[in-house]
Amino acid sequence: MARILAIDYGKKRTGIAVTDEMQLIASGLTTVRTHDLIKFLKEYVAKENVELFLIGEPKQMNNEASESEALIKEFIRLLTKALPAIPIKRVDERFTSKMAFQTMIDSGLKKKQRQNKSLIDEISATIILQSYLYK
């Protein structure tokens, strides 16, 4: 089997999580500057076997697409062009940032550590991946 890679796309930085090769465990991988994201993904896929990209789909409470959806669609277009062999699925990402922040509190991180937005993005990507794996 191959890994599944989840992406919590953001305007400035993007959280990334990945499964093990058996697709049992979701782990935060890193946070990447969005400007460098395609390059990072190309390099990662060259080293690791990835069978699927999961990309968060931000929706508002009324189920309509959020403002950032236009940016994500453009990213998907570029990703499909750069890595056409790997399929993409979308996953509802409502509340993942809040869940990530709560996870940081529950795990005992101090207030200063909880202000690390990169860590929130990485945890959010992990939550997106977990929601896909465990549904």
What pLDDT is stored for residue 118 in this prediction? 72
- Residues of the chain below pLDDT 70: 59-61, 63, 65-66, 94-116
Which CATH number covers residue 76?
Answer: 3.30.420.140
- Computed from CA positions of residues 45, 46, 47, 50, in that sequence, does the dihedral angle turn out positive or negative? positive
Q: What are phi and psi of 20, to 5 degrees?
A: -75, 175
**pLDDT tens digits for 26-52?**
999 999 999 999 999 999 999 999 999
Structural domain range at position 83 = 3-133
- Count of domains observed in the chain: 1
- Computed from CA positions of residues 102, 61, 4, 74, in that sequence, does the dihedral angle turn out positive or negative? negative
Please name every residue paired with 17 in a beta bridge, in sequence order, or none if there are none.
Answer: 6, 28
Entry pTM: 0.85
